[in-house]
Amino acid sequence: MAISVVFLGSPAFAVPSLRALASDARFTIPLVVTQPDRPAGRGRQPRPPAVKEAALELGLPVFQPETLRDPDAVEQLATVAPDVMVVVAYGEILRQVVLDLAPHGCLNVHPSLLPRYRGSSPVQAAILNGDAETGVSIIKLIRHMDAGPIVAQRRIPLDGTETAGTLSERLANLAAEMLPDVVAGWVAGKLNAVPQDDEAATYTRELTTAGARIDWRQDAAAIERLVRAMQPWPKAWSFLEGRRLAILACDISQAVSTEPPGTINLTAQPPRVSTGSTDLLLLRVQPEGKREMSAEDWARGVRLPRGARFAPVEEMGEGSGPQAGA
């Protein structure tokens, strides 16, 4: 008899996992639970979550409660009577009454090597801290955030060129590769859940635009990691002549900075900015209110006074760098 799985997920990261379970004859998916459509884009028109679009394409029933704290929503889940629930970036912390609905509980996909990087931004944290590896953990959900026992875990190496976007896609595909066998093995009682070492746990912070601001006093390597970690959102940025400039891609120069941090040299190819160590080479940028472009194209069109500098962080009264727990 096929295993009945209720799937809870919302963003694009969860779609490969949904597709992997839906295409496996060992499972039936009587219900896909996802967040409500939300206003998005310049027109602020309601936009469905990526999981909803995938579920409808697969012919699966979709449920979009405002919250699973609503007793009626919990009752609807209960009527489905799943064997197990699978949670992949759903977007809400589940109460115990939900966790107890299925006899085999809830399995959760988390894109880090737990207990490292619990919280909402583990992919960005691995890049920010220059980690040599990361991975996917599948845990049994408990009421404490990302603290449940580990059912399965797989590691992948990092080469230092990943952005949050490319690494998220890679980890989403890894999770989809792991999930069917893990769910089947868990329900069959063939897998053990190993408690996490809570003393070794580290935590990440929610991503914010303010936290993506560049502090040019940092060394170039730290800024380069910030740029990759904040791509594609919220994009690393700095103020220049009172307007924001997003830095989308950059590289580290071998030249030691001799000007004050944040000083920009437009005549160099590509343009470069002094930091707390070596210069940073700008490759792709996005001026405020404009499309993204090569830094060289931007430099040819912008007019700046000689010795122009990006505004120091303290001048604008905003913090810098969403540093994650190491």
Listed in sequence order, the DSSP H helices in 85-129 are: 96-99, 122-128
The beta strands (E) that lie in the chain are given as 3-9, 27-33, 38-40, 45-47, 62-63, 84-88, 106-110, 133-140, 150-157, 236-240, 243-256, 264-265, 272-273, 278-287, 293-294
By the 10 Å C-beta count (0-12 exposed, 13-18 middle, 19+ buried), 303 is classed as: exposed
Q: Are 89 and 15 in contact (CB under 8 A)?
A: no
Q: Look up residue 271 and give its amino acid.
A: P
C-beta neighbour count of 293 within 10 angstroms = 15
**What does 162-176 look like in DSSP terms, one character per residue?**
--HHHHHHHHHHHHH
192: which 2 tokens?
Answer: 């053990």
Q: In this structure, which amino acid lies at residue 252?
A: I
Distance CA 20, CA 58 (A): 11
Residue 315: what pLDDT? 58
Flag whether the pTM goes above 0.75.
yes
Q: What DSSP assignment string belongs to 68-105?
A: TTSHHHHHHHHHH--SEEEEES-SSPPPHHHHTSSTT-
Q: What is the full per-residue pLDDT of the chain (326 aa) written as tens digits?
A: 999 999 999 999 999 999 999 999 999 999 999 999 998 877 788 999 999 999 999 999 999 999 999 999 999 999 999 999 999 999 999 999 999 999 999 999 999 999 999 999 999 999 999 999 999 999 999 999 999 999 999 999 999 999 999 999 999 999 999 999 999 999 999 999 999 999 999 999 999 999 999 999 999 999 999 999 999 999 999 999 999 999 999 999 999 999 999 999 999 999 999 999 999 999 999 999 999 999 999 999 999 998 899 999 975 444 444 444 44
The angle, 0 to 180 degrees and rounded to 10, between the axes of the packed helices 50-57 and 15-22 is: 20
Instruction: Name the nearest CA neighbour of 260 among 313, 307, 318, 315.
Output: 307
pLDDT at position 156 is 98
What domains sit in the chain, N to C, each tagged with a CATH number?
3-200 (3.40.50.170), 210-316 (3.10.25.10)
Say what the pLDDT of residue 326 is.
41
What pLDDT is stored for residue 314 in this prediction?
Answer: 77
pLDDT (0 to 100) of residue 321: 41
Parallel, antiparallel or unpaired: strands 150-157 and 264-265 = unpaired
CB 16 within 8 A of CB 23: no
Tell me the chain's radius of gyration from C-alpha atoms: 22
- What is the C-alpha separation between 322 and 88, in angstroms, rounded? 23
CA angle 202, 204, 206 (to 5 degrees): 165
Which run of H or E residues covers position 22?
Answer: helix 15-22
The amino acid at residue 2 is: A
